[in-house]
């Protein structure tokens, strides 16, 4: 099955690219007072993306002290759901691989193994659908929450027109984008695997057996009817009736003729000597 080969690989890629992500944003604040210009701010964040707990210190251009600010948003639930589905799918794929290779007879016994496998595969397909769609929306929200323009609105010094703020480093999103792609690849893989597991169940075998027999029986009945119709065209009904009648009447006539011949032979034998004497 395709799940045995590809499912564990893509499951690892999905939860590894999501769970191992870490990025940072760096902004620079140039105050109107040149003595406090060129102040860099580093903002680090990563899995599980509890951005409301990510804090950073921003300078206040009017004073030498700074302010503590936090990002907006908590996306841990969706990220953890995506990683959990990936880990569970990986573990089940390994278990299914062991069963397919070493316990094939027990897997097919009493049709319980294929039925359980079918139900679990359908559940994982649904979970991949939900988690991948939610994770794709969450990645978009994380990009918005860490957008430098939105971060500038949080910093008091950047809201002043006389000060200038710029982003010197932005997060790289290729890894999170790959995690979204791997999520939908797993979805297609598990949905496609439903068909292969369904073919191992008794539902497919039962539904595949009886329509075949009925079709063959229908074809045989049509063939018999066709042969019968052809034979009826070759021999008309009147001729067929006459032949049957002649057959039915010929048998007793033949029997009677034999009896008459026997009687005649007896009479000839019995009268033979009398005729010979008279001739002499």
Q: What is the pLDDT of residues 195-216, one digit of tens each?
A: 888 787 766 555 444 444 445 5
The better pLDDT of the pair 100, 128 is held by 128
Q: What is the pLDDT of residues 59-70, one digit of tens each?
A: 888 767 788 999
- Cα maximum dimension of the chain: 177
CA distances from 186 to 92, 94, 252 (A): 13, 15, 85
196 vs 239, higher pLDDT: 196
Is the pLDDT at 93 greater than 60, yes or no? yes
40, 172, 258 from 249: Cα distances, Å: 123, 105, 15
- pTM of the predicted model as reported, rounded to 2 decimal places: 0.69
pLDDT of residue 97: 86
Q: What is the pLDDT of residue 226?
A: 66
Give the pLDDT confidence score for residue 194 in this predicted structure: 87
Q: Which tops the pLDDT comparison, 211 or 106?
A: 106
Cα radius of gyration rounded to whole Å, the chain = 47
């Amino acid at each position: 099955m395709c799940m045995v080969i590809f499912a564990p690989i893509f499951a690892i890629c999905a939860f590894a690219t999501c769970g191992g992500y870490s990025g940072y944003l760096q902004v620079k604040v140039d105050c109107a007072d040149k003595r406090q210009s060129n102040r860099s701010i580093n903002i680090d964040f990563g899995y599980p993306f509890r951005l409301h707990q990510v804090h950073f210190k921003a300078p206040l251009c009017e004073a030498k002290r700074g302010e503590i600010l936090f990002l907006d948003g908590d996306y841990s639930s969706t990220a953890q759901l995506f990683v959990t589905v990936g880990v569970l799918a990986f573990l089940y794929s390994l278990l299914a691989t062991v069963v397919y290779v070493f316990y094939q007879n027990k897997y097919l016994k009493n049709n319980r193994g294929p039925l359980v496998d079918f139900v679990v595969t359908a559940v994982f397909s649904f979970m991949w659908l939900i988690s991948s769609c939610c994770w794709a929306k969450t990645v978009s929200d994380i990009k918005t929450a860490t957008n430098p323009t939105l971060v500038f609105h949080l910093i008091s010094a950047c809201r002043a027109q006389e000060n200038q703020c710029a982003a010197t480093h932005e997060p790289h999103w290729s890894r999170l984008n790959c995690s979204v792609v791997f999520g939908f690849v797993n979805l297609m893989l598990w949905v496609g695997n439903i068909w292969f597991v369904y073919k191992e169940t008794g539902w497919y075998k039962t539904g595949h057996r009886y329509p075949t027999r009925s079709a063959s029986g229908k074809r045989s009945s049509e063939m018999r009817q066709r042969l019968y119709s052809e034979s009826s065209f070759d021999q008309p009904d009147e001729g067929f009736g006459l032949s049957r009648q002649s057959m039915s009447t010929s048998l007793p006539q033949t029997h009677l003729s034999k009896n008459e011949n026997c009687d005649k032979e007896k009479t000839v034998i019995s009268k033979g000597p009398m005729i010979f004497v008279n001739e002499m």
